[in-house]
A and B are shown apart, each in its own frame.
Chain A
Amino acid sequence: SQQGEEDPQALSIQEGENATMNCSYKTSINNLQWYRQNSGRGLVHLILIRSNEREKHSGRLRVTLDTSKKSSSLLITASRAADTASYFCATDDVGNDMRFGAGTRLTVKP
């Protein structure tokens, strides 16, 4: 069963705008990861945030984690057409099972 639930399911923006995707989950976690999947390809790891961290940055990516609300957000700043992909959150719960959400499909128009 899926643990993380991404929101929105689909997002369409113009190049240069910021994209924000959200992920909610249900159980206690050790960490939360975000992955990107380009069409027809495997998933690529973007960033991992541990349960005791609140915010993490990697290049144009900013991830926040609110364990009290059981939610995380992924912000992509100054988006590019090459950012067009599906983005998944994956939670590593306390039982060490990893679960992926259904994903957010991001389209960045040039």
Chain B
Amino acid sequence: DAGVIQSPRHEVTEMGQEVTLRCKPISGHDYLFWYRQTMMRGLELLIYFNNNVPIDDSGMPEDRFSAKMPNASFSTLKIQPSEPRDSAVYFCASSKAGTSPANEQFFGPGTRLTVL
């Protein structure tokens, strides 16, 4: 398996533009997570899905952020409109559920977003 795939790896955009980050989880994994990592705030869980259904989106910072998982092999995180404070590395991770959703998570390489 190729692991969790994220695209693009780097994104530079201007304030106000829409940004879409993409993730392909590992085949057969039930859970998909979106994280944001910054120096100031560390690694933050934004949202996670179980079997394509959003379970907990309490970490989504505001309405400008939205995430979808139309099928088991694809998820998007969209920011519209983007702001400079959204600059961060965004990670997608997936896991196969055992007794809880927080079993070993496999992380993608991340998307480094810079909003000018």
Interface of A toward B, CB cutoff 8 Å: 2, 30-31, 33, 35, 41-45, 48, 88, 90, 92, 96-103
Whether B56 and A97, one on each chain, are in contact in the complex, defined by CB atoms closer than 8 angstroms, is yes
Interface string of B76-105 (1 = CB under 8 A from A): 000000000000000101000001111111
Q: Is B43 an interface residue (CB 8 A)?
A: yes
Interface of B toward A, CB cutoff 8 Å: 4, 33, 35, 42-45, 56, 91, 93, 99-110
A60 shortest CB reach to chain B, Å: 19
Q: Considering only CB atoms, which chain A residue lies closest to B101 in the complex?
A: A96
Chain A contacts for B101, CB-based, 8 A: 96, 98
18 sampled A-B residue pairs with Cβ under 8 A: A30-B99, A33-B102, A35-B107, A42-B109, A43-B43, A43-B93, A45-B106, A48-B104, A88-B43, A90-B102, A92-B100, A96-B102, A98-B33, A98-B102, A98-B105, A99-B45, A100-B42, A103-B43
